[in-house]
Amino acid sequence: MNTKHYKIDDIDAIIKNFATFMHDGKPHFLVVDDSGVNRKMMVRVLKELNYLDITEGKDGVECIALLNDLMNKDVIILLDLNMPRMDGLQCLKQIKSKEDTKHIPVIIVSTNTSREKIVSSVELGAEAYVVKPFTAAQISEKIEQILDK
């Protein structure tokens, strides 16, 4: 049997290359919406845009819990506003008020078109606001704006 020996530096390079291959430098997406249909649409759009690292949550409470499991990843959140238990604005406020999560970009994706909700979202720290129904191009544009920062 022919055994190959590696140096520590070689192993580090292999691990780094594997991590790059696995994630391709792309962010992990957390899609949060109480509607399963809406989550599926957002996931489908992300996959069409070749973003494959995706977690789903059904409300703000679940979003906060899931974020704790995703702290070692570069995350972008797609967040609905109208949800039970903890709505999107409450969730956004909690995310942006904590030192370890305030850097996480949040894109609000909502049917709500009221000026008050849009302004509140931006004031609380949302990076973008997309109105449902949305197109893949709209989501792509917002993601690219975040990634270009």
**pLDDT tens readout for residues 49-86:** 999 999 999 999 999 999 999 989 999 999 999 999 99
pLDDT score for 10: 53
The neighbour count for residue 28, using CB atoms within 10 Å, is 17
What's the Rg (C-alpha) of the chain?
18
- Total-model pTM: 0.83
pLDDT bracket for residue 149 (50, 70, 90): confident
Q: What is the DSSP string of 95-127?
A: HHHSTTTTTS-EEEEES---HHHHHHHHHHT-S
pLDDT over 80 at 106, yes or no: yes
Query: Which of 24-28, 33-37, 39-43, 67-71 shows the lowest per-residue confidence on average (mean pLDDT)?
Result: 24-28
More confident residue, 22 or 128: 128
Q: What percent of the chain has pLDDT over 70?
A: 84
**pLDDT confidence of residue 19:** 43
Banded pLDDT at 8 (limits 50, 70, 90): low
The token pair that represents 34 in the structure block: 């109480």
Pairwise CA distance, residues 109 & 89, whole Å: 12
Rounded to 5 degrees, φ, ψ at 28 are -90, 135
Exposure of 20 by Cβ count < 10 A (0-12 exposed, 13-18 middle, 19+ buried)? exposed
Domains of the chain: 25-147 (3.40.50.2300)
